[in-house]
Amino acid sequence: MEVYALIGPSGTGKSHRAVMVAHLTGSDIIIDDGLLIKGNQILVGNTAKKQPTRIGAIKAALFLDRNISAKAREVLRQHNPSRVLILGTSVEMARRIASTLDLPDISRVIDIREVASPEEIKKARLNRTKFSRHVIPAPTMEVRKGFPGTIIEPLRVLIRKDKDKHSAGRSWLEQSVVRPTFTYYGKLTISDHAISSIAVLAAREVSGVKSPGRVHVAQAEEELIIDISPVLYYGAYLPGVSKKLQAVIKERVEYMTGLSVKTVNVIIKSIDLKAPQKPANEAR
């Protein structure tokens, strides 16, 4: 097994470039801020980006929790990767992580300045210090499981399948930008009424819906359960409209609030017998 280390000060864009560097080095697993990531899956870990204090973040990044480090070692044994990429703020930090997880010595150190320009590093620092944006090299659906109540946005990364820059063999991989719902000025709380309003506005965009009706929001195990009782137009295909309502409401609420929606229940209690009015340009 070969171990690589991507090194750079905090906020310089290491996580943003982790997938690219892993691809270039042929690394099967990325170890970043307390997480073991393989492809589109977080295998194990407790991300440092979720910790409320700097000390907690350092402990998570170094896998100092015995239970988590034991799970991480077991996962590494099971997957038996040929190459591993460790992200760290220093060579010493990367070596400590490798030692904790029973990995071989680091065979190559890659400085962030080798893979990012001064302008890109400056932009990364701005995103961290001013906007508190953190990148996790895993898809939003995977990251959202461990970040309830957090605003998460997708970030696409272009990967070339070979070293020929003129080749058409390219693919896109998704990462996540995490924006915590708290600031130095306090904590952001999203009320059930605000979530209901988002669901109502989303439902009105679905063809076949006359009125969104009553919306009820409940929270279970840090996930939302949304019940909506719309009035549909006569002639609308009920299963199709219901499925569309579920998808649109889930997508809109999760994107705008950062909260995870477990279920959207559509209860159709009324059908309006009047045909929906067409816009004036269609009526002609």
Parallel, antiparallel or unpaired: strands 270-272 and 223-233: parallel
pLDDT of 229-239, one tens digit each?
A: 999 999 999 99
Count of all residues that appear for the chain in the document? 284
In the predicted structure, residue 91 carries a pLDDT above the cut 90: yes
- Average pLDDT (83-100) is 93
Rounded CA gap, 134 and 32, in Å? Answer: 12
Nearest CA to 1 out of 21, 37, 29 is that of 29
Q: According to the model, what pLDDT value does residue 189 have? A: 63
Quote the CA–CA distance of 186 and 35 in Å, as a whole number: 28
Tell me what the pLDDT averaged over the chain comes to.
Answer: 80
Confidence at residue 175, expressed as pLDDT on a 0 to 100 scale: 61
- The rounded distance, in Å, linking the Cα atoms of 20 and 117 is 14
Conformation bin of residue 125: beta by default, left when phi > 0, alpha when psi is -120 to 50: alpha
pLDDT of residue 35: 86
Taking the model in full, what pTM does it have? 0.56
User: Distance between CA atoms of 153 and 135, rounded to whole angstroms?
Assistant: 10
Domains of the chain: 2-187 (no CATH), 192-272 (3.30.70.1350)
- CA dist 58 and 63 (Å) reads 9
Percent of the chain with pLDDT over 70: 70
pLDDT at 2 over 90: yes
19-53 burial, b for 16+ CB within 10 Å, e for fewer? bbbbbbbebbbbbbbbbbbbeeebbbbbbbbbbee
User: Strand 35-38 vs strand 29-32: parallel, antiparallel, or unpaired?
Assistant: antiparallel
